[in-house]
Amino acid sequence: MPSVLANNYILVDVATNKILFSKGADQKIYPASITKLATALTALNIYPLEEVISIGATYSEGKVMELRTGEKITIRSLVTSLLVYSANDAGFNLANHHRQGVPGFIKEMNGLVKQYNLRNTNFTNYDGIHSPSHYSTVYDLSQLGRLAIKNPVITDVVKHKQLLVTDIFGTINHPLVSTNELLGVAPEIEGLKTGWTPEAGGCFIALMNINGRYLISVVAQSPDRFADTQSILSWSKQHILWLPYTP
């Protein structure tokens, strides 16, 4: 087993959904900004990619991309900013764009996880800011990751270490640097999403490509989420062998 300091972790083979190892996989944890994978999936499910949002009031809680009042920007650009830079104001505007406002959007987020039978997850917000009733498990997050990577918009965006998004006129620039510190460091890492709050500790869901085979790892309550993930990756490269399957 790899040396992992996180309280909770899991490694899943994407193709078969086989759990290769885990600790506390079904214990309640706080997902912090990994929440934004569900926010992105919900937005991509209900809005056209090129639909334009006109930014209303500015939103300044936590990490923001500094969207401006009156700025016109596409759903695609907001989802990109949400996933790469973890921009809370992108999440707010995606949620607030719902015809029933933020509560309607969060209801759709919870409907998404219920649809896929993720019974140990409940969302009360779109950005992962701490709430005792906003929770998940590393198992549920691994399944959310398997669902997310079926969407090519998500898999393309989360590979990028940095990107630039603009308003629809190309006059307002938002340079984005990924919160995923393993991009460009460990070539097998192709995403997915980081998270941190004091209550959640460090958490990270990683997509690993090992010779064309995909694994998803999740670490939560970690003192060093990236070192833990590198440890899981190193162990996986040494100990996991895929063989041809004959029924």
Q: Given a cut of 90, is residue 247 above it in pLDDT?
A: no
Q: What pLDDT, on the 0 to 100 scale, is given for residue 57? A: 81
Domains of the chain are 8-239 (3.40.710.10)
Residue-wise pLDDT tens digits, 5-41: 999 999 999 999 999 999 999 999 999 999 999 999 9
Q: What pLDDT, on the 0 to 100 scale, is given for residue 149? A: 97
Q: What is the dihedral of CA 164, 168, 169, 171, to 10 degrees?
A: -40
Q: Given a cut of 80, is residue 54 above it in pLDDT?
A: yes
What mean pLDDT comes out for the span 162-175?
Answer: 98
Q: Which two tokens stand for residue 78?
A: 């907001």
Q: What pLDDT, on the 0 to 100 scale, is given for residue 2? A: 81
How far is it, in rounded angstroms, from Cα 50 to Cα 196?
A: 30
How far is it, in rounded angstroms, from Cα 16 to Cα 86?
A: 29
Residue-wise pLDDT tens digits, 191-216: 999 999 999 999 999 999 999 999 99
Distant-in-sequence, close-in-space partners of 114: CB < 8 Å, separation ≥ 6: none
- Select from 168, 51, 153, 33 the least CA-distant residue to 98: 51
Q: Are 225 and 31 in contact (CB under 8 A)?
A: no
The number of helices, as runs of H, and strands, as runs of E, in the chain is 7, 9
What mean pLDDT comes out for the span 116-129?
Answer: 96
